Structure 1
Amino acid sequence: MKKITRDIKYICLLAATITLSACSSDDDASSNVEQPKPALVTGEANFSKYIAVGASFSAGFTDNALFIAAQNNSFPNMLSQKFALAGGGSFTQPLMADNVGGLLFNGMPLFDTDGNRQFGPRLFFNGTGPTPLNAMSTTEATNVLSGPFNNYGIPGLKSFHLGVAGYGFANPYFGRMASNPMATVLGDAVNESPTFFTLSEIGGNDVLGYATSGGTGVDQTGNFDPSTYGGNDITDPIVFDTSFRAAIGALIGTNNAKGVVTNVPYITSLAHFTTVPYNPLDPSNPDFASQIPTLNNVYGAINQIFIALGEEDRVIVFSTEQANAVVLKDESLTDLSAQITGALLASPTFPAFIAQFGLPPAAAPIVAGLLGQTYGQARQATANDLFVLPSSSIIGEVNEDYAAFLASQGLSPAVAGQFAVEGVTLPLADKWALIPSEQAAIKTATDAYNATIETVAADNGLALVDFKGILDEAATTGYASGNYIYNTALVQGGLISLDGIHLTARGYAIVANEMMKAIDATYGSNFEASGNLIDAGTLPTNYPPTLR
């Protein structure tokens, strides 16, 4: 069966596609004369030993991978270059071996424990959309690097992972840089005796794995999701609170180190969750339009049962005039499988109904059972539902496994295929969508994490960056930086990388700038006034496939 959704197009990311901010002119020529800027001062901060601790963002993870160019454009590395102007020392990162991304284990591509998420390679923009680089990593996970290091940004790190002994066995990104097999991330970072630290995006991975798996706790998207170490359940806010407070206490340590922390954004505002529309089924597509009468006939029989049971909100109808919502399985709904099956079998018209599909009356019990099982928790999506980015590749496609199952129950291959179209006749599984209750669970946890972060920052006199506010602004009105206005749209927004979650190099520069502003406000430095903020517009938004 041909794809029956409208195409989800991507726009090539060029400077021209990012909205230019307005420039004003002034008739007073003297206003165009650049005034001398003051010399850089550090205030109360001591940058002589800067240590970064965090997760994927701190590492520089972008385009679904970690690679040298991205690490060089990580916000900690950018900050270290500015700190070097104010007495900061050297800054060493655990660099990957190439610009492909991904890892090898004893010479073979490394896969996660479920066998379907390869660690890389990175994505690139092929003119139509994000696609994996056709290359293999040369970074061997078993080759442990010699430290010491300054950047302890570990993709996949959750709050409670910070103090887990032997975490390198579970997470190869830390394993290749750990000081010893039983080392902890926090222990290795603290052993470097920081005078200044950043503790960033702690809490993001504590909800991200749950979100990218559609709230199921199992990621089956085929893409590497570094947040899944330790399972996908949302971290209990009490566990987060304990872990975060311990991390801050250890990093401040006997040096009374100063530092910057960030709060946690609402990750559901990221492109990974906002790109795929809830209503992608296009009646102007002839492949879909020709099926609408049959679909409404099939669902009409189910809809009568929904109405009789007082479940009018579950009625499924396809329009010939406007974009149609996909059909999904909502596990928060009461399961009406038995009622549907019973009502269909009790209907005297049901044998005639299935006859239109070439099925004999004797098949009625099997078909009624299959329809009940399939649509017992089905409904059409609404604008309040979110869909993970990989769902765009399966909506409107025949689920071959389910079609094979239906064929094994006696349906002809043609009929089995008709009843196995993802999001049309086969409700999308929970892993592809975040329903409102799942979104609410993410928000509740995020708000609790942020309450802890803000309290701990205030109690310890730390600088705080409102990362949540930055992304909220980018997702609504756009975030202005230099000559550009950035938003969270996939590919053309400039802020979010091709995986829909992590930042571009420009996005990481914006984070570095916000950190320097917070340092200025808290510790009396003057990075902004002295002209030392980064021009994010000079950095790339993605990397060419030729970069290896």
Structure 2
Amino acid sequence: MKKYIYKVSVLALFGSVLFTSCEPEVDYEVNPSAGEELDFSNYVAVGNSLTAGFQDGGLYLEGQLYSYPAILADQFEEVGGGEFVQPLFTAAQRNGSGYLRLAALPTPTSPVTERVTDNLAVRTDVPPLPGGPRLTKFTQPVNNLAVPGMSVLSSYSTQYGAINPYFERLLPDAEVGTKSYLQRVAEADPTFFTLWLGNNDILTYATNGAVADPANPLSDKTPVVSFKTIYSLLVNELTDGGEVEGVIANIPDVTAVPFFNTVTLAAIRQGAGAPDLKVYIKVGPAPSDVRELTADDLVLLSAKANIGRPDQVQTPNGPVVIPHGFNPANPLNDNEVLDKDEVVEVKNHTKLLNDAIAEIAAANNIPVFDVNAFFNSIKGGFKIDEVTYSPAFISGNLFSLDGIHLTPRGYAIIANEFIRVANEYYNASIPTVDVTQYRTVVFPNNN
């Protein structure tokens, strides 16, 4: 119960800064029960940024407190769960890595964001890692082992702790660059686990417009054979040869999130005030590999600020200023767009990885939360308690300002889906939460 008390005290003290809602109410079932099979005394969560509570382009205290594993741990307490330790940032360093907040919203798809840069947990006493500045250490044993940026492929690398600052933070100095994430998972000894890892084995590639860096093997699609081999090792460690229960989540269709579906051709034309505007994209290495953008091509959210930018372009007649994307001589770059052929490529590879996850889960008698099917089922929107949700950027209530990670309410909805799967498969009655007690996107105060 220590974790719960700490949560309340922190949010009460810093509520005006963190924009939190009241402590979520529990939607109790008649007879909460873990069933006959489940033991939540040492629940361990394995995953990446989505499991860490990453949102708004950063990891910070409020997001950690409302990560879906933290929500699950609260519910597991009702059926005998034990203490759940997270690598929380302190109140003084509550803004963690820094994150985006909404400064203004001129139109629903044109937010003005600003980076929070105070009360960070960024270390200045040591050089940064290749993956970014180092963060304040938290090396005591934790139940939430999530590491933003972690993939199945990188989980096998002993060198990854010297690359990723979120993983380095969890390791004693002597283990940095010598211990893999897989080895760290093997030490966790859970009595129940959730595993949601694999997104970055395709997401990193997709969010760079299907452009891989030849010098970085983690920037490409993870080969299916490698993925399957390492994922099997992870599941074997977590299940302890079939003795431990859990729930596995698969990889969502990355094209179903706002990062890929906000900057549409129609939105670009509306923003430019030109209904017939033509937008051009690069689709190959040759100068002539340029064509018009279509509705089947997905411009990345990260490219939005670049569209229409006045660039000086060298032409046979000398340098000319040409708006970025609005002329075939200055098209949107390959890494700013997931074109229609690349969309098919990403979808097909995601399916292959999910097939591997399903096979490994079945072999270990572990149920799968089909996040891929769930995300695709909500594309048209849905309602909970008369509140509408959708993958729409900002207004959809599910996704945070980075267009990829969820809001606290989105994480609460995911937590309830994990609970639904566990209840159905293990014949348990774990209570769900009232998701409306968790916040969505925080709008600027215009008073």
Instruction: Report the TM-score when normalising by structure 2.
Output: 0.82
Q: How far apart are the structure 2 equivalents of 1:386 and 1:172?
A: 30
1:525 partnered with 2:424: no
The separation in 1 between residues aligned to 2:433 and 2:85, in whole angstroms, is 20
One-letter identity of the residue aligned with 2:163: A
In 2, are the aligned partners of 1:178 and 1:185 still within 8 Å (CA)?
A: no
Q: Which residue of 1 aligns with 2:281?
A: 328
Aligned length: 398
Q: What whole-Å deviation, never above 9, does each CA across 1:80-101 have from its counterpart, x for those lacking one?
A: 1111122211111112343434
Partner of 1:514: 417
Other-structure match for 1:214: 209
Residues 411 and 467 of structure 1, relative CA distance in 2, 3 Å threshold: same
Give the match for residue 31 of structure 1.
Answer: none
Equivalence for 1:186 = 182
SS at match of 1:65: coil
**Partner Cα distance (1:100, 1:248) in 2:** 33
Structure-1 separation of matches of 2:28 and 2:44: 34
- Quote the residue 1:132 is aligned against: 114
Matched, 1:382 2:289: no
Q: Does 1:88 align with 2:88?
A: no
How many angstroms does 1:485 deviate by?
Answer: 2.9
Contact 2:53–2:67 (Cα < 8 Å) also in 1 = yes
Q: Map 1:377-456; keep pairs closer than 5 Å.
A: 377-399=289-311, 402-403=312-313, 405-406=314-315, 411=318, 416-417=320-321, 419-425=322-328, 426-456=330-360
Cα RMSD after superposing both structures: 2.6
Q: What SS does the corresponding residue of 1:151 show, helix, strand or coil?
A: coil
TM superposition shift of 1:229: 7.5
Question: CA shift at 1:283, angstroms?
Answer: 8.8
Match of 1:535 in 2: 434
- Alpha-carbon spacing, 1:149–1:36, altered in 2? closer, same or farther (3 Å): closer
Q: Assess, with a 3 A threshold, how the Cα gap between structure 1 residues 178 and 42 changes in structure 2: closer, same or farther.
A: farther
Counterpart of 1:497?
Answer: 400
Counterpart pick for 1:272 among 259, 277, 283:
259
Q: Distance in 1 between matches of 2:114 and 2:157?
A: 32
For 1:212-253, what per-residue CA distance to the aligned partner results, in whole angstroms no more than 9, with x for missing partners? 11112259xxxxxxxx98532111111111111111001111
Distance change in 2, residues 1:130/1:194 (3 Å): farther
Which amino acid letter does the alignment assign opposite residue 461 of structure 1?
A: N
Deviation at 1:124, TM superposition (A): 3.0
- Is the Cα contact below 8 Å between 1:497 and 1:542 reproduced in 2? yes
* Pair 1:203 & 2:198 matched: yes
Q: Which of 461, 464, 473 matches 2:365?
A: 461
Partner amino acid for 2:146? G
* 1:281 positional shift: 5.5
Q: Paired residue for 1:37, among 7, 12, 30?
A: 30
Could you give the per-residue CA deviations for residues 303-336 of structure 1, whole angstroms, max 9, x where no partner exists? xxxxxxxxxxxxxxxxxxx43341112118xx4x
In structure 1, the partner of 2:20 is none
Q: Distance in 2 between matches of 1:52 and 1:100?
A: 22
CA contact (8 A) 2:32 2:78 kept: no
CA deviations over 1:94-151 (Å, ceiling 9, x no partner): 123434341xxxxxxxxxxxxxxxxx43333533415133424233326422311001
Aligned partner of 1:29 in structure 2 is none
Amino acid at match of 1:434: L
Residues 516-542 of structure 1 deviation map (CA, whole Å, 9 limit, x = unaligned): 111111111112xxxx21111110113
Higher strand content, 1 or 2: 2
Taking a change above 3 Å as real, the CA distance of residues 68 and 421 of structure 1, as seen in their structure-2 partners, is closer
Q: Secondary structure at the match of 1:470?
A: helix
> Of 243, 263, 271, which residue of structure 2 is paired with 1:256?
243
Gaps of 5+ in 1: 1-33, 103-119, 220-227, 289-321, 336-372
Task: Report what 2:4 is aligned to.
Answer: none
Indicate how the Cα distance of structure 1 residues 324 and 280 shifts in structure 2: closer, same or farther if over 3 A, else same.
farther
Cα pair distance change 1:535/1:167, threshold 3 Å: same
CA distance in 2, matches of 1:469, 1:329: 31
Give, in angstroms, the shift of residue 48 of structure 1.
0.7
Q: Give the greater-gyration-radius structure (CA).
A: 1
- Judge conservation of contact 1:58–1:74 (CA < 8 Å) in 2: yes
CA distance in 1, matches of 2:83, 2:219: 36
**Alignment match, 2:6:** none
Correspondence 1:5-84 to 2 at 5 A? 37-84=30-77
Is the CA contact 2:56–2:101 (under 8 Å) kept in the aligned structure 1? Answer: yes
85-94 or 266-275, larger mean C-alpha shift: 85-94
Q: Structure 2: which amino acid aligns with 1:121?
A: Y
Question: 1:340-371 CA distances to partner (integer Å, 9 max, x unpaired)?
Answer: xxxxxxxxxxxxxxxxxxxxxxxxxxxxxxxx
What is the CA distance between 1:178 and its match in structure 2?
A: 1.8
Contact 1:389 1:500 in 2 (8 A): yes
| Counterparts in 2 of 1:144 and 1:382: CA distance versus 1, 3 Å | same
SS in 2 for 1:231: helix
Q: 1:44 & 1:154 partners in 2: Cα distance?
A: 29
Counterpart Cα distance in 2 of 1:423 and 1:273: 20
Q: 1:281 to 1:485 in 2, by over 3 A?
A: closer
Residues 378 and 53 (structure 1), Cα distance of their counterparts in 2 relative to 1, 3 Å cut:
same
Among 144, 149, 152, the alignment partner of 1:156 is 149
CA distance in 2, matches of 1:52, 1:211: 25
**1:242 maps to what in 2?**
229
| Aligned residue in 1 for 2:10 | none
Matched AA of 2:305: S
**Structure 1 residues 60, 36: CA separation in 2 closer, same or farther (over 3 Å shift)?**
closer
Q: Give the aligned partner of residue 357 of structure 1.
A: none
- Measured in 1, the distance between the counterparts of 2:272 and 2:335 equals 27
Shift of 1:203: 1.8
For structure 2, the residue ranges without an aligned partner over 5 or more in a row are 1-26, 124-133
CA distance in 1, matches of 2:29, 2:360: 38
Q: Report the CA distance shift for 1:166/1:526 in structure 2 as closer, same or farther (over 3 A).
A: same
